[in-house]
């Protein structure tokens, strides 16, 4: 199985938010040294816990700091952008970093009402997502009504998807990146089986391809892995309680706070569902997921409070997925 990373530029309590971006660049350099396949960044708007609002800007810096690893978006939220502008951005990235740029696309809306308003989201408007993906592909392949500059090599496209998005990826003939709750659903094999049966080949993508994305934490023992995963689980539980996704906090700061019963249940449930533990435990879980999904690539989206621990966890995961 190929191994890639999705870094969401997580901010940390008490630290300048810009450090999240420099941390992303440092992690990309480390991922390249580990020999990983690709390094993707995210798009989130107005979220205190995430500094990455513009994948093309961050990817330009990531690409400049690396030389081999593929770089891309996980993903650009296309409903917030004009397809032609996205095509220009990624054509420029491809020209700056030839043969290394991927374009992952999603359709998530803004996290809160005010964010959706400033993004000019129209909840009652027509669903243009499929048409916009087709238009964007035409622009990138040079078949649109206006030539996108600079002309250059191919920019592979991926679709980030859950239920109906998996069907759309098949219809458009695109690789699909599957993550979130759908990975735990009993119907996942059926959804991906239908994707493979209904896949419409294209010259650029002649056969279906599945990538799975999830948080993975590898440590010497389960207790250490759960401690490393605690800040992200706490942030998710806090977001459900307050409606605002917060910066990561240290495990010590989290344990010093009051834990309402509902928050405690959510944190423990999140940790119980997570793919974490010793190398042998994580390997078995990933093997089961690969068997169920038929995926040939893992896009790991791990976050920890301690950056050194994050780098160590990335190296440990590499040893699990791609042992020497």
* Cβ-count burial 128-146 (b if 16+ within 10 Å, e if not): ebeebbebbbbbbbeebee
- Among 93, 85, 296, 102, smallest CA distance to 204 is for 102
Mean pLDDT over residues 257-275, rounded? 93
Q: What whole-number percentage of the chain has pLDDT above 70? A: 100
Distance CA(99)–CA(169), nearest Å, equals 23
Give me the helices (H) in 157-250, please. Answer: 163-172, 188-198, 222-242
In the block, residue with structure tokens 């917060």 = 246
User: Coil, helix or strand for 3?
Assistant: strand
Which residues make Cβ contacts (< 8 Å) with residue 282, sequence separation at least 6?
216, 217, 218, 275, 276, 317, 320
Give me the helices (H) in 35-103, please. Answer: 55-65, 83-96
φ, ψ (nearest 5 deg) of residue 242: -110, -15
φ, ψ (nearest 5 deg) of residue 283: -60, -45
Distance CA(147)–CA(266), nearest Å, equals 50
Q: Which of 122-126, 147-151, 269-273, 311-315 has the lowest mean pLDDT?
A: 122-126
Q: What whole-number percentage of the chain has pLDDT above 90? A: 86
User: In which band, very low, low, confident or very high, does the pLDDT at 185 lie, cut at 50, 70 and 90?
Assistant: confident
User: Coil, helix or strand for 72?
Assistant: strand
Query: How many CB atoms sit inside 10 A of residue 58's CB?
Result: 23
Under 8 Å between Cβ of 11 and 17: yes
User: Coil, helix or strand for 84?
Assistant: helix
| 54 alpha carbon, distance to own chain's centre | 14
Q: Is the pLDDT of residue 151 over 90?
A: yes
Query: How many CB atoms sit inside 10 A of residue 237's CB?
Result: 21
E-assigned strand segments in 117-244:
157-161, 176-179, 210-214, 216-218
E-assigned strand segments in 125-209:
157-161, 176-179
Q: Which CATH number fits domain 2-217+276-321: 3.20.20.30, 3.10.150.10, 3.30.70.20, 3.10.450.50?
A: 3.20.20.30
User: In which band, very low, low, confident or very high, does the pLDDT at 109 lie, cut at 50, 70 and 90?
Assistant: confident
Residues, the chain, total?
Answer: 324
């Amino acid at each position: 199985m190929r191994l890639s990373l999705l870094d969401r530029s997580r901010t940390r309590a008490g630290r300048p938010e810009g450090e999240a971006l420099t941390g992303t660049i440092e992690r990309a350099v480390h991922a390249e040294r580990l020999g990983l396949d690709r390094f993707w960044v995210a798009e989130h708007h107005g979220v205190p816990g995430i500094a990455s609002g513009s994948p093309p800007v961050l990817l330009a810096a990531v690409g400049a700091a690396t030389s081999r690893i593929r770089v891309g978006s996980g993903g650009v939220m296309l409903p917030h952008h004009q397809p032609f502008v996205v095509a220009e951005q990624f054509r420029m990235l491809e020209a700056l970093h030839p043969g290394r740029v991927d374009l992952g696309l999603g359709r998530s809306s803004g996290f809160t009402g005010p964010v959706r308003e400033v993004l000019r989201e129209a909840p009652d408007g027509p669903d243009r997502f499929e048409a916009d993906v087709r238009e964007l592909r035409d622009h990138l392949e040079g078949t649109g009504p206006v030539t996108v500059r600079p002309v250059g090599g191919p920019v592979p496209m991926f679709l980030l998807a859950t239920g109906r998005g998996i069907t759309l990826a098949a219809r458009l003939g695109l690789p699909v990146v599957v993550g979130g709750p759908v990975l735990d659903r009993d119907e996942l094999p059926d959804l991906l089986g239908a994707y493979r049966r209904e896949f419409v080949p294209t010259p650029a993508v002649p056969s279906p391809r599945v990538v799975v994305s999830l948080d993975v934490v590898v440590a010497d023992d389960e207790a250490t892995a759960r401690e490393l995963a605690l800040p992200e689980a706490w942030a998710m539980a806090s977001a459900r309680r307050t409606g605002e996704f917060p910066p990561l906090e240290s495990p010590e700061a989290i344990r010093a706070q009051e834990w309402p019963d509902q928050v405690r249940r959510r944190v423990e449930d999140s940790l119980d569902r997570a793919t974490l533990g010793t190398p042998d435990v994580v390997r078995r879980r990933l093997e089961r997921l690969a068997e169920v999904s038929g995926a040939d690539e893992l896009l790991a989206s791990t976050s920890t409070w301690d950056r050194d621990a994050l780098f160590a966890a990335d190296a440990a995961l590499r040893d699990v997925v791609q042992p020497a």
